[in-house]
Amino acid sequence: MESKIVYKDEFMELCEDFTDVGYMAENIEVRDLFQEKKLITRSSSERHMTLLLSFPHAKEEFANEILALDELMSRIQVELKCYLIFDEDSDEKTVLKNRLKKFEMVFDADNEFGSLYGTKLVSGTLEDRLTKALFLISKDGAIFYIDMPNDLSRPLDVDRLRVELNRAYSSYTGVGCHG
């Protein structure tokens, strides 16, 4: 995974810890809109897939992309838990939250997501924020697909996400690798 991110002609560094496709996802503790702790687990007894989405902020340049992804995910017919993760709360995020249909907005208050998934920016004007990233976690808790553009002005690959959602859903047998 590339550790340099570009935003408005500025180069920034990501933290050194990365995870990759095929690895077991990490459980992360986040905070909800009421600052209550919430545990997002890599898998559940309901066997749903999980989508983790992060952005540096919710201003207009990213809000439109977030809302388009939210609209797409709200039309998905399979059980899918969707989390929109920011580093901290702000007024623009509260406004965005009221427009979301599928994503649950949470905050990486203890920096678990940023550190464990390699999404924390450690330099530049966005230092200590989360980069634009998408992680699709399969029903068995493995990271199935990652989209983390090196250039934050580049949108996430929605067409590829559709393909990967179908692959992740149809490839799960429920018996594990030894069954």
135-159 pLDDT tens trace: 999 888 889 999 999 999 999 999 9
Rounded Cα gap, residues 140 and 160, in angstroms: 21
Q: Which two tokens stand for residue 41?
A: 């687990």
DSSP secondary structure string for all residues of 119-135: -BB-SSTTTTSBPSEEE
Q: Is the model more confident about 94 or about 130? A: 130
pTM metric for this prediction = 0.89
For helices 158-171 and 60-74, angle between their N-to-C axes, nearest 10 degrees? 30
Position 179 scores a pLDDT of 42
| DSSP assigned state of 25 | P
Most confident of 32-46, 77-91, 134-148: 134-148
**More confident call, 172 vs 107:** 107
Measure the CA–CA gap between 42 and 34, rounded to whole angstroms.
23
Give which of 22, 31, 26 is closest to 1, Cα–Cα. Answer: 22
pLDDT surpasses 50 at 73: yes
Task: Compute the distance between CA of residue 151 and CA of residue 174 in angstroms, rounded to an integer.
Answer: 37
